[in-house]
């Protein structure tokens, strides 16, 4: 199975899986344009601008109208989507069955589970924990590995009335928690762990 990480982190998120699935469009349109010709499905996890770039999505909808856009109701309220995903209910398409589940963030955020052939994939970023993930074993883990818990703890008292790096970091999955989820749920030693949304400061 092929995949390509166009961008992952606070400056933008966009990942392509199996050549025809794109997850999130939080980067400039010209940075992904050449990849869009083979895309059939665009899954959007949530409305934050590093995952959903408004101008980019407008360009995709106008220039690539055959791409099926799937997102939760907050995404749908901000932009028309072809399918409104609901946690725990399968989204059945011509090629895949996507199972959305709720992540734990400060806006409604979904992760997705789906199969490519006999390979089971989980994708989840921007979440405090993975407790809501569907049970079972996975072959590919595209999950957030944002920060080292010890490094984040050192920033606990940095808040001075503005941005609080500690509280912001706690909205994201730590590297320790991500690795624990991977080792607890991998199908075999060959299961692949693809770390997403790594903090430039606390990873």
If pLDDT is split at 50, 70 and 90, which confidence band does 80 have? Answer: confident
187: pLDDT strictly greater than 90: yes
pLDDT at 163: 79
Are 98 and 115 in contact by the 8 Å Cβ rule? The answer is no
Long-range pairs of 23-26 with CB within 8 A, sequence gap ≥ 24: 23/112, 23/123, 23/142, 24/51, 24/52, 25/51, 25/52, 25/53, 25/56, 25/57, 25/60, 26/50, 26/51, 26/52, 26/53, 26/56
Four-way CATH pick for 3-196: 3.30.530.20, 1.20.210.10, 1.10.287.3510, 3.60.15.10: 3.60.15.10
- Share the mean pLDDT of the chain: 95
Average pLDDT of the segment spanning 107-126: 97
Instruction: In whole angstroms, give the CA distance from residue 173 to residue 105.
Output: 10
pLDDT at 113: 98
Instruction: In whole angstroms, give the CA distance from residue 195 to residue 28.
Output: 22
Q: Where are the domains of the chain?
A: 3-196
pLDDT at 194: 98
31: pLDDT strictly greater than 80: yes
Average pLDDT of the segment spanning 95-108: 97
DSSP-assigned letter for residue 187 = S
159: pLDDT strictly greater than 80: no
Average pLDDT of the segment spanning 44-52: 97
pLDDT at 34: 97
- The enclosing H or E element of 63 equals helix 54-63
If pLDDT is split at 50, 70 and 90, which confidence band does 74 have? Answer: very high
What is the reported pTM? Answer: 0.95
């Amino acid at each position: 199975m092929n995949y390509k990480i166009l961008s992952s982190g606070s400056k933008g998120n966009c990942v392509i899986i199996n050549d025809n699935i794109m997850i999130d469009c939080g980067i400039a349109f010209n940075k992904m344009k050449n990849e869009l010709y083979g895309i059939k499905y665009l899954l959007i996890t949530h409305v934050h601008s590093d995952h959903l770039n408004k101008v980019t999505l407008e360009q995709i909808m106008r220039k690539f109208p055959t791409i099926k856009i799937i997102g939760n109701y907050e995404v749908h309220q901000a932009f028309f989507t072809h399918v409104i995903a609901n946690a725990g209910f399968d989204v059945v398409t011509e090629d895949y069955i996507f199972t959305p589940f709720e992540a734990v963030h400060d806006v409604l955020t979904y992760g997705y589970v789906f199969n490519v052939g006999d390979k089971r994939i989980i994708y989840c970023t921007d979440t405090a924990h993975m407790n809501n993930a569907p049970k079972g074993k996975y072959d590919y883990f595209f999950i957030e590995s944002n920060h080292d818990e010890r490094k984040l703890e050192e920033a606990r008292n940095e808040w001075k009335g503005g941005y609080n790096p500690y509280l912001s970091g706690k909205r994201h999955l730590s590297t320790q928690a991500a690795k624990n989820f991977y080792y607890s749920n991998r199908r075999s030693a060959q299961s692949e762990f693809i770390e997403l949304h790594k903090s430039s400061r606390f990873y």
